[in-house]
Structure formats: C-alpha cells, structure tokens
C-alpha cells in the first residue's frame, strides 16, 4: 500500500484535475502515443499561443477526477497514453488546434473525447466545433453585423451629397446658441399723496 506521502500527492493531483476541468470552458482528451518530442513541442507552442493548457495525465487519477465531477462516462477512454488540453478562455481553441494537429499527424495522434461547460461531447460535435472561427473572430463578425446598417447609411448619404456637390459635414446644421441679455427692472415705489376730503358743514334752516 502507498505510504501517506504518496497518497497525499495523488490526492493533490486529483484535486488539481478536478479544479482544472471544472474551471475550464472546454477540454479535449488525446492519445499522443505516435508523436515525436519535436512534434510534441510544436503542438505545445501552438496551444500556448492560443491560451490552451496542455499536459500528460495519469489515467487512474483522472478517472477519479471525472467520477467526482459526474463525468464518469469519460472513464472508458482513459486508457493507453492520455493528455489533456483545456482552456479557460476561448472554448473553441482546444478543439480547433487539436483537431488540426490530429489531421496533420494521422494515426499518430488521436482525439479521445472532449467536453464543454461540463457536458461530454461526441466526436462529431467536436469536429463541428473545431470548424468554427475563434471567439475573437466571432466577436468581430457580430460587431461588424451590428455596425453594417449604420455604415451603409453613412455611405449612401455621402454619395447623395457628393452628387449634389455637398458633404456630410455641410449637411449637419450648426447649432447656434443665442445668449440673450438678462434685463433687470428696478423696482419703483411711487409715493402718492393721500387726499383728505374737506369737511362740509351744511347749515340747515331751523324749523319753526
């Protein structure tokens, strides 16, 4: 039986795999048995440039990790030589790079299984995903689609104005702000004399 130190090291490796797979946006398991050291270095460089972590893993320890994550169906592929490519950023990158390399290497390098957002993918699904452009390219495409109507409108307006001998700048009316002076009226207090009516004494004849 393994001693406490070895057992502790294995538990740390399993915990690391669990965290790595759980935090990954996507990942691919690969059988790398036929490639040379140079080809392996070439692959690692390409994966690194695309933000993908790649390493050789032990099947028994990874089996424990996928079981803990509820991905036990992946246990069937954990035999022979196994490496794992994961990405926490672009979920398409691992599939694209690994699939392209597998096509280049033929039977020397094969895709075993893959996952995305905690879901196990079939080989056909991985093939379809690998054909998609990168996340950055998708963002650029979506942004271009959003800006297309505005850009088209600007081009059309510009062409119409050019035909009339004007420009977009001239077409935009200048907004003039007219500042009006503030008139302050002085308060005038008019003192009017108070008229006091004269008392009239009417002398009435005395009745006899």
29: phi then psi, degrees, rounded to nearest 5? -95, 135
Partners of 56 in the β-ladder: 83
Partners of 26 in the β-ladder: 87, 116
Domain boundaries, the chain: 7-132, 138-168
State the pLDDT at residue 21.
95
State the pLDDT at residue 199.
42
Name the residue among 174, 185, 66 with its Cα closest to residue 115.
Answer: 66
State the pLDDT at residue 50.
93
Secondary structure E strands in the chain: 26-31, 53-56, 83-87, 110-116, 119-121
Superfamily of 7-132 according to CATH: Ribosomal protein L10, N-terminal RNA-binding domain (3.30.70.1730)
Tokens of 112: 């075993």
* CA 175 centroid distance within chain: 38
CB 129 within 8 A of CB 95: yes
User: Which residues of the chain have a pLDDT value below 70?
Assistant: 1-2, 134-208
Question: pLDDT tens digit string along 13-29?
Answer: 999 999 999 999 999 99
Cα Rg of the chain (Å, integer): 42
CB burial string 95-116: b at 16+ within 10 A, e below: bbbbbebbeebeeebbbbbbbb
For residue 166, give every residue at least 6 positions away whose Cβ sits within 8 Å of its Cβ, in sequence order, or none: none
């Amino acid at each position: 039986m393994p001693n406490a130190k070895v057992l502790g090291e294995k538990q740390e490796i399993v915990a690391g795999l669990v965290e790595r797979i759980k935090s990954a946006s996507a990942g691919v398991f690969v059988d790398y048995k036929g490639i040379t050291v140079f080809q392996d270095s070439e692959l690692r460089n390409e994966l690194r440039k695309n933000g993908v972590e790649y390493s050789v893993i032990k099947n028994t320890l990874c089996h424990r990790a996928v079981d803990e994550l509820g991905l036990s169906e992946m246990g069937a592929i954990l035999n022979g030589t196994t490496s794992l490519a994961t990405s926490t950023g672009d979920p398409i990158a691992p599939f694209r790079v690994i699939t392209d390399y597998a096509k280049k290497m033929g039977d020397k390098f094969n895709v075993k299984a893959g996952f995305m957002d905690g879901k196990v993918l079939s080989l056909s699904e991985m093939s379809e995903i690998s054909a998609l452009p990168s996340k950055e390219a998708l963002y650029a495409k979506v942004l271009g689609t959003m800006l297309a109507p505005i850009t088209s409108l600007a081009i059309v307006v510009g062409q119409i104005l050019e035909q009339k001998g004007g420009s977009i700048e001239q077409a935009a009316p200048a907004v003039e702000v007219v500042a009006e002076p503030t008139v302050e009226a002085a308060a005038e207090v008019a003192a009017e004399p108070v008229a006091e009516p004269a008392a009239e004494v009417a002398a009435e004849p005395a009745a006899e």
